[in-house]
Amino acid sequence: MPISFSSPGERDPRARGHGVTAVLGPTNTGKTHLAIERMLAHSSGIIGLPLRLLAREVYNKVSERVGADAVALITDHDAFDYEMVREHARFVLDTRNRIAGPNVELL
């Protein structure tokens, strides 16, 4: 199955990665701000972040807007239950190297 890097209107809905956007650019160009705004425009979402410090900063920003009980912060060092995350958090911030697991699409 092909990966789609075309604009949203041109994407084949069957393509792997449909609905996933990679935002690339130099430091201080608003990539994280854009990711937060886009995620919060939906009823739920997940952002993968490379650093725990950045994830904590984003967690604080998102929590201020939607409430701490609607947000989960997951790091490489956390043991967690996907079922609990799915039940309680609408928005997930994840610093693990790989975002995967049962029912991750339900987040």
Considering the entire predicted model, what is its pTM? 0.69
The domain spans of the chain are 26-106
Q: What pLDDT, on a 0 to 100 scale, did the predictor assign at position 57?
A: 95
Question: Please, which residues have CB within 8 angstroms of residue 15's CB and are 6 or more apart in sequence?
Answer: 1, 2, 3, 4
Tell me which H or E stretch contains 64: helix 52-66
CATH architecture of 26-106: 3-Layer(aba) Sandwich (3.40)
Q: What pLDDT, on a 0 to 100 scale, did the predictor assign at position 3?
A: 44
**Regarding predicted confidence, which is higher, 4 or 10?**
10
**Regarding predicted confidence, which is higher, 26 or 87?**
26
Q: What pLDDT, on a 0 to 100 scale, did the predictor assign at position 13?
A: 62
**pLDDT (mean) for 6-28:** 69
> If you ran DSSP here, which 8-state letter would residue 81 be given?
-
Percent of the chain that is helix, strand, coil (3-state, to 5): 40, 15, 50
Q: What pLDDT, on a 0 to 100 scale, did the predictor assign at position 8?
A: 57
